[in-house]
Structure 1
Amino acid sequence: MTVIDSQALLVAGSLLAYAGSALAATAQQYSPPAYPYNSESANYTGQSNNSLQNTPIVSGKAFDRFIQIWFENTDFETAASSQTFQNLAEQGVLFTSYYAMTHPSEPNYIAVASGDFFGNAADDFRAIPMNISTIVDLLEQKNISWASYQESMPYDGYTGYNYTSFDYIAGSGDYTYYVRKHNPLMIFDSVSNVTERALRIRNFNDFARDLNASAMPQWSFITPNLVNDGHDTNIDFVSQWIQFWLNPLLADTRFNDNRTLILLTFDETETYNINNRIWTLALGGGLPTELKNTTDDTFYTHYSCLSTVQSNWGLGSLGRGDTNATLNNVFEFVASVTGWKNNGISGNSSDIPFLNLTGTIPGPLNPEYYVPFSAPNMNATGVGGGPVFQGPGLNTALSAASQPPPVNLTAQGLDTPWAQNPGYDYPNGTQVYTSTPSATTSASAGSWTRGEMSVIVPALTLLGLVIGSLLVL
């Protein structure tokens, strides 16, 4: 046998082994981590905290509560073929031209929080600096309560890269159910480095506590764990989770009252060589009755989640993709109430841009096309009528138009400075600093830490990059 033949067999064997493990993953049998849907569970590791203390309800023009639930890596046609998803569509308006922003997962989650994914083309650890604003800044300006619920996250404010806990499906061993890359607000220091904000990033034991106390916030982002969101499984598994967990909630007025809008969507398509159209449904008690079991072919993106909320509550803007006139259409039934006029792009229009590009967009989170963070467009017109939010100490001198040429840090053996773990966490409800070992952790570990980079970065060079980036913030 030749060396080439041996290598071919090794590669084939590896692929077969990978295929076998993938098939085993998708063949997992659904098992609820808790009975019933609104109960706490030891399978979530972390203990629940007190229920949220929310500000008084701030009335919106079209809804008073907005809930986003994200699933993973599924083509539009795959979701549409599911009987469970078809049944859900009868309760809402199906957006047939809703698109994700890019690939892979993490940049889409970053985008829906901030209006940009900053060139990111990986699912690696990212920590975005304090002066980069998010939807939280806009909500808090109007005293609108918010929270994020992350299934299988061990405790409130957990900042680790992932978390491995007891495999409640297999009934033995461990499984990594939680990942930071699906927790959008935690990636931003402006949330995760502010204790009172970080502790509003809660796990599902806290969700049960908040639901049962009728303490659901006005804005929330919900991420199921890696099996229930379809990342490690498939659409049938997601459907079983919906039947167990979501369907009862739709009938629970503590979650879904007559002023609630719920958005079900996916982060991205599974197939990368098609444009990034994803199955997305708006439903809930706040949806006009005449829209149930209908479709809307207006061109929407993940930025529409920002612009719709801004339009509903008359918020300011972030001056990024949320003010991009091509990408920021407001959900049509909300636009008709608020008086916002969308851009008219719909269906299969040739004006819909390609949103499946990855790896070639310059930004501070792309080490191959690195540029510093730029200020938002301070002159942008937001759909809510308010001004562009300006974080404390933000230097507006460096605009997107005046960016320097991209630098290939990877070719120099470097990574983006924003791949470094800032080192803080909230294991006991207060901020503490840790050391920096590995990028992963387990339930048996006393604390989490961020691992060393795959390439050792010369300290002075990295310091210069970090300082240079901070100066333009």
Structure 2
Amino acid sequence: MVNRTVRVLPLLAVALSLVLLAGCGSSGGSPRGAGATSPSVSGTRSPAASGTSGRPAPPAAGAVPQPAHVLVVVFENKGYDNVVGSSQAPYLNLLAKRGALLTDSHGVAHPSQPNYLALFSGSTHGITDDSCPHTLHAGSLGAQLLGSGHSYASYAEGLPSAGFAGCDNGNYARKHAPWTNFANVPARTQLPLRALPTDYAKLPQVGFVIPDLCSDMHNCSVSTGDRWLSANLGGYVSWAQTHHSLLIVTFDEDEGSGANRIPTILAGQPVRPGHYGGRVDHYTMLRTLEAMYGLRPLGTAAHRTPLTDVWR
């Protein structure tokens, strides 16, 4: 009888220890292997969560910011290698260093006009030249923004008056002002460059800025356009860095090559600085603008993915 009791006591001790351990574990959360994760040390994020070099994590897949203001500037007929890294474009290269440079950006056609139409409406509408005038009854970014309660305007250098519908005026060219062709874009939103607010808080949520045929590098040098950008929008870029706003600088096309590779730069507070690959074009930029303001993608833009990796 004594021997049997001796053998039973160790078994009871082991069982009691297992019960106590199970009780302690039940208050510690889910067991490993059932979806549990180890807590981070001292509350710090791992590199995978916070990005590299201490930068904040990128938005979730498919996410884009909604900037307070966006200005889109379109220059003319210069390929990527004629601007990026060029001593003739110190300000543009400063923006590329401090902002996001898209290294595989492309125009969609030659000559100029189809590219502007693609950027503004998701289609070239069968227009393959720089002919003027045209009247289009189709969807456009301007009409989308106004119809959804957002503010929108365009500012063109050399435009003599708001809503001017002529094909040219000095160095102003309607072929570079696609909104003029759309019946659904009010004339009151088509403004001369001198109407661009100097109080940037009064800017529309989305605006396009079109330099004239010299300032946009079409008839004049890269250095001329670079100086124009610094003089006319350098103040806005500095302001945008602290006011959740954005500048997009792009070109309509290169000098006529089949690749049609162009510089595209984004600058402002929402932007994560860096160089970004992956092929994009004017439809991609339209799709991104539409995603920012919850708009239905127009035309070919529906077949593009908005930019997501360039944001803080």
Deviations 1:9-46 (A, max 9, x none): xxxxxxxxxxxxxxxxxxxxxxxxxxxxxxxxxxxxxx
Q: Which residue in 2 is equivalent to 1:106? A: 113
Aligned structure 1 segments of 4 or more residues deviating by more than 3 angstroms? none
Q: Which residue in 2 is equivalent to 1:259? A: 244
Shift of 1:124: 1.1
CA distance in structure 1 between the aligned counterparts of 2:200 and 2:285, rounded to whole angstroms:
27
Residue of structure 1 aligned with 2:279, choices 287, 290, 299: 299
Residue of structure 1 aligned with 2:168, choices 162, 170, 181: 162
Residue of structure 2 aligned with 1:76, choices 80, 92, 116: 80
Residue of structure 2 aligned with 1:117, choices 95, 101, 124: 124
Q: Which residue in 1 is equivalent to 2:41? A: none
The answer on 1:182 being equivalent to 2:171 is no
**Local SS of the residue matching 1:295:** strand
Q: Which residue in 2 is equivalent to 1:203? A: 192
Query: 1:99–1:301: 8 Å Cα contact kept in structure 2?
Result: yes
CA distance in structure 2 between the aligned counterparts of 1:136 and 1:316, rounded to whole angstroms:
13
The answer on 1:151 being equivalent to 2:157 is yes
Deviations 1:81-103 (A, max 9, x none): 23332222111010001111100
**Taking structure 1 as reference, are residues 63 and 230 closer, same or farther at Cα in structure 2, changes over 3 Å only?**
same
Deviations 1:101-143 (A, max 9, x none): 100001111111110002222111032333x110123212321
Shift of 1:213: 7.3
CA distance in structure 1 between the aligned counterparts of 2:241 and 2:183, rounded to whole angstroms:
31
Paired residues for 1:5-20 under 5 Å: none
**Taking structure 1 as reference, are residues 286 and 213 closer, same or farther at Cα in structure 2, changes over 3 Å only?**
closer
CA distance in structure 2 between the aligned counterparts of 1:256 and 1:219, rounded to whole angstroms:
16
Shift of 1:256: 5.8
1:108 maps to amino acid: N
The number of aligned residues is 246
**Local SS of the residue matching 1:264:** strand
Shift of 1:62: 4.1
Q: Which residue in 1 is equivalent to 2:95? A: 88
Q: Which residue in 2 is equivalent to 1:231? A: 218
**Local SS of the residue matching 2:108:** coil
1:198 maps to amino acid: A
**Local SS of the residue matching 2:309:** helix
**Local SS of the residue matching 2:207:** strand
**Taking structure 1 as reference, are residues 240 and 136 closer, same or farther at Cα in structure 2, changes over 3 Å only?**
closer
1:333 maps to amino acid: D
CA RMSD of aligned residues (A): 1.9
Shift of 1:266: 0.5
Query: 1:138–1:317: 8 Å Cα contact kept in structure 2?
Result: no
CA distance in structure 1 between the aligned counterparts of 2:168 and 2:242, rounded to whole angstroms:
34
Residue of structure 1 aligned with 2:295, choices 303, 306, 315: 315
Query: 2:151–2:204: 8 Å Cα contact kept in structure 1?
Result: yes
CA distance in structure 1 between the aligned counterparts of 2:221 and 2:183, rounded to whole angstroms:
33
CA distance in structure 1 between the aligned counterparts of 2:149 and 2:143, rounded to whole angstroms:
10
1:285 maps to amino acid: Q
**Local SS of the residue matching 1:97:** strand
1:206 maps to amino acid: A
CA distance in structure 2 between the aligned counterparts of 1:232 and 1:124, rounded to whole angstroms:
18
Residue of structure 2 aligned with 1:139, choices 134, 145, 167: 145
Shift of 1:257: 4.4
1:124 maps to amino acid: S
Q: Which runs of 5+ in 2 are unaligned?
A: 1-63
Deviations 1:422-453 (A, max 9, x none): xxxxxxxxxxxxxxxxxxxxxxxxxxxxxxxx
Shift of 1:281: 0.4
CA distance in structure 2 between the aligned counterparts of 1:200 and 1:141, rounded to whole angstroms:
13
Report sequence identity in percent. 26
Shift of 1:234: 1.5
Q: Which has the higher helix share?
A: 2
CA distance in structure 2 between the aligned counterparts of 1:148 and 1:283, rounded to whole angstroms:
19
Deviations 1:213-264 (A, max 9, x none): 731000011101111111110111112212322223322x3x6643112110
Paired residues for 1:69-468 under 5 Å: 69-80=73-84, 81=86, 82-130=89-137, 132-163=138-169, 176-191=170-185, 197-207=186-196, 210-212=197-199, 214-251=201-238, 253=239, 257-270=242-255, 272-287=256-271, 291-292=272-273, 294-318=274-298, 320-324=299-303, 328-333=304-309
Shift of 1:75: 0.9
Query: 2:68–2:244: 8 Å Cα contact kept in structure 1?
Result: yes
Q: Which runs of 5+ in 1 are unaligned?
A: 1-59, 164-175, 192-196, 338-473
